[in-house]
Structure 1
Amino acid sequence: GVWPEGYKGIGKPFAERYKLQRFGRGGFVAAALRTKTPIIPTAIVGAEETYPMIANSSVVARLLGLPYFPITPTFPLLGPLGLIPLPSKWFIHFGEPIHTDQFPDNAADDPMVVFDLTDRVREQIQQTLYRLLMQRSSVFG
């Protein structure tokens, strides 16, 4: 699997949960186009409550050479115990495959094709996230 948001997707504040970050330059789409592999948009609801990041210590992150250093309600306050995830119920939805075998062989080299397909995948996942969030009754069930 590929997570096109990269570290920005897991390093965002709790207030921005389930708002997809930019998908970069579409490397996953270019790879799928080159290999004629289908893209299966996958949306997960529940994961963003396990480690709710309330702050980022950029000074500590810089010292450790990390993209971010999360401050959660339990970490670093409780030390290693703060690394235990909070309980939440997860919903995982696999969308309809987006077939890439109908694109021309050189489609991966066309920035507009890559951008359009990347945007299509991102929008499909974001809409699925909104739908799943509306269906769940609480974080725990």
Structure 2
Amino acid sequence: MAQFPQAGDGQSLPPVVPDALELLKARINFDLTGKNAQQRMLYGVLGVTVACVVLAVRTGGDAVAFSAAAALWVLVMAVFGIGFVVTRKRNAKFAARLRAAGFTSVTEEGGRVRYLPPTAYAQQAAGQ
């Protein structure tokens, strides 16, 4: 606020470095489309599987009910499969963009992979 006191008017904004903004977007998208998103999709697969079995049993439990539930299950699994492939491709694209910019891949204690800028990685390696 001290450097740009008039920023609230929408015109006196600080200059934006385009590459820095793109790298920030890549880091955010990598976090959103990472393993956590894939894990949520797998939970969705389990939920849909259980829901289709329950649906088949509650609608009569005969061959027609199980056939309709199976058709619905196949359709939803195809959607999840497409989503899984798209998520992995996007994640790989953002990871490549970050590596090209000099970011370093760091695995956290919980197994989550994050990309840190070179200065942050050097500080973390030094124990700061």
Normalising by structure 1, we get a TM-score of 0.28
Q: Which structure dedicates a bigger proportion of its chain to helix? A: 2
Please identify the structure whose Cα radius of gyration is greater: 2
The answer to which structure, 1 or 2, has the higher relative contact order (CA under 8 A, 6+ apart) is 1
